């Protein structure tokens, strides 16, 4: 099987208390694809502008990602600017320039239409819907979003949510989406909208997965050095969908293992800027961290 990822490919300018980077490769589809590629083959669908050169794409070259769905359009590449204070759980956005994404009309190839596992990474929900409509027989569709779209395209987002199996979002977004402060009640309301599962990320406090089987609580890996949290959510989702695709997973246990693999991947990406940590990450390190997650919560 293989994973189809649609989302943003971006040039990110990010400042954290530990450093700063200008126009580094980022974007939801970038992080998610790199992460999923540790588990299965990945097809990326996104758009970049004419200003996106060889040096911008270079960080993706070490990963096994089919880039035939990465379209180049007249105009400028999507740009995101943000910063973090010592509260690394919250990115403060200072600029979002959609640029070529404003007119993007994703047309899937015949091969991409056959995808079984699809990650609709954070992007305009109208684009997510357009992709969804072209997939012939999806098995699992995982959707991500953020406050920007909850505030600007809520109707399209709700239409998209109705059609997916799993929604992943952070705690503040879950509360904002359904106007409910309590996360258990918020997850219940979101599941009533359509998805079988809702995964609520709580940054350095881990993630909660809600389904008819109950609640699964995954810790976050206790890291001493978090350098830049950008992309942690996308990397988490990429690891989850990549794992599910690889093992053809459908059971509760498969989803739980997928959440832990996703958490393990996210715990690496935050150690450096952009894809710098994933670029040198080995499968042995991923495996080891997965086992450390088990040890973290084991008790008799």
User: Which residues of the shown chain bind ligand AMP in the complex (CB under 6 A)?
Assistant: 8, 10, 12, 26-28, 80, 91, 96, 122-123, 146, 148, 230-234
Closer by beta carbon to ligand AMP, 91 or else 190: 91
Q: How far is the CB of 114 from ligand AMP (least distance, A)?
A: 25
For the bound state, the minimum distance from the C-beta of residue 157 to ligand AMP, rounded and expressed in Å, comes to 12
Of 116 and 144, which CB lies nearer to ligand AMP in the complex structure?
144
> Minimum Å distance from CB 62 to ligand AMP?
18
Nearest to ligand AMP of 21, 115 (CB atom) = 21
Query: Whose Cβ is closer to ligand AMP: residue 26's or residue 242's?
Result: 26
Which 3 state secondary structure label does DSSP give 220? coil
Rounded distance between C-alpha atoms, residue 294 and residue 162, angstroms: 33
Instruction: Spell 195-234 as b/e; 16+ CB within 10 A means b.
Output: bebbbbbbbbebbbbbbeeeebebebbeeeebbbbbbbbb
Which CB, 116 or 131, lies closer to ligand AMP?
Answer: 131
Q: Are 262 and 236 in contact (CB under 8 A)?
A: yes
| Rounded Cα–Cα distance for residues 121 and 242 (Å) | 13
* CA dihedral sign of residues 171, 176, 177, 182: positive
Name 216's bridge partners. Answer: 209
Please report how close the Cβ of residue 139 comes to ligand AMP at its closest, in angstroms.
Answer: 24
C-alpha angle 136-152-31 in degrees, rounded to nearest 5: 55
Q: Dihedrals φ, ψ of 85, to 5°?
A: -95, -165
Residue 54 CB, nearest approach to ligand AMP (Å)? 20
Instruction: Name the residue with the smallest CB distance to ligand AMP.
Output: 26
Cβ proximity to ligand AMP, 8 vs 16, nearer residue: 8
Closest contact distance (angstroms) between CB of 298 and ligand AMP is 28
Residue 183 CA to residue 190 CA, distance in Å, equals: 10
């Amino acid at each position: 099987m293989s994973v189809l990822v649609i989302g943003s490919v971006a040039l990110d300018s990010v400042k954290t208390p530990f450093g700063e980077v200008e126009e580094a490769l980022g974007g939801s589809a970038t992080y998610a694809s790199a992460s999923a590629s540790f588990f299965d083959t990945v097809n990326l669908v996104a758009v970049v502008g004419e200003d996106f050169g060889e040096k911008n794409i270079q960080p993706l070259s070490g990963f096994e990602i089919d880039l035939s769905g990465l379209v180049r359009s007249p105009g400028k590449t999507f740009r995101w600017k943000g910063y973090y204070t010592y509260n690394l759980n919250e990115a403060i956005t200072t600029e979002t320039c959609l640029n070529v994404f404003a007119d993007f009309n994703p047309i899937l190839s015949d091969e991409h239409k056959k995808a079984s596992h699809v990650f609709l990474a954070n992007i305009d929900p109208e684009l997510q819907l357009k992709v969804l409509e072209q997939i012939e027989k999806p098995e699992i569709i995982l959707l991500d979003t953020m406050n920007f779209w909850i505030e600007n395209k809520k109707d399209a987002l709700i239409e998209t949510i109705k059609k997916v199996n799993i929604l992943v979002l952070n705690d503040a977004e879950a509360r904002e989406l359904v106007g409910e402060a309590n996360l258990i009640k918020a997850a219940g309301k979101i599941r009533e909208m359509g998805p079988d599962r809702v995964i609520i990320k709580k940054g350095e406090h881990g993630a909660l997965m809600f389904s008819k089987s109950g609640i699964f609580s995954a810790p976050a890996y206790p890291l001493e050095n978090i350098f830049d949290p950008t992309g942690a959510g996308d990397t988490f989702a990429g690891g989850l969908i990549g794992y599910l695709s690889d093992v053809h997973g459908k059971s509760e246990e498969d989803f739980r293992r997928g959440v832990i693999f996703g958490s393990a991947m996210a715990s690496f990406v935050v150690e450096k800027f952009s894809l710098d940590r994933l670029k040198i990450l080995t499968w042995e390190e991923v495996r080891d961290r997965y086992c450390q997650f088990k040890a973290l919560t084991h008790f008799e």
